[in-house]
Amino acid sequence: MVDKLLTCNLCKGQMHLYRGPRYNRKVGGFLIASGAFTTLFWVGSILGVPLFLLGLYMTGAKRQLWVCRDCNTAIERIELKPKQKVIMEKNEQPQ
């Protein structure tokens, strides 16, 4: 991940790195709770264990966003293969 600060395309303000949860925490918590509950029953464990694991993944998953505090714009940068990344950065240069 590049640490260089980004400039906002809309207002030319400085963008800051923001790390937040990828999914809704309530949904993840609900899945953990319902997964744990169904696991209490013998038959339910077939369904309960995957639910529980999915819930754990959803509450733990994070994403990185660049946010502009002036106009509330948020962009997400994704990891690309090194070759593609170089081409992208060349195209992004201002005229």
Q: Centre a 10 Å sphere on the Cβ of residue 70 and count the other Cβ atoms it contains.
A: 13
User: Closest CB to Zn ion among 6 and 56?
Assistant: 6
Nearest to 18 by CA among 75, 85, 78: 75
How many chain residues bind Zn ion (CB under 5 A)?
A: 8
Considering the complex, what minimum distance in angstroms separates the CB of residue 79 from Zn ion? 24
For residue 20, give the 3-state DSSP assignment.
Answer: strand
Considering the complex, what minimum distance in angstroms separates the CB of residue 33 from Zn ion? 39
Q: Which residues bind Zn ion (CB under 5 A)?
A: 8, 10-11, 13, 68, 70-71, 73
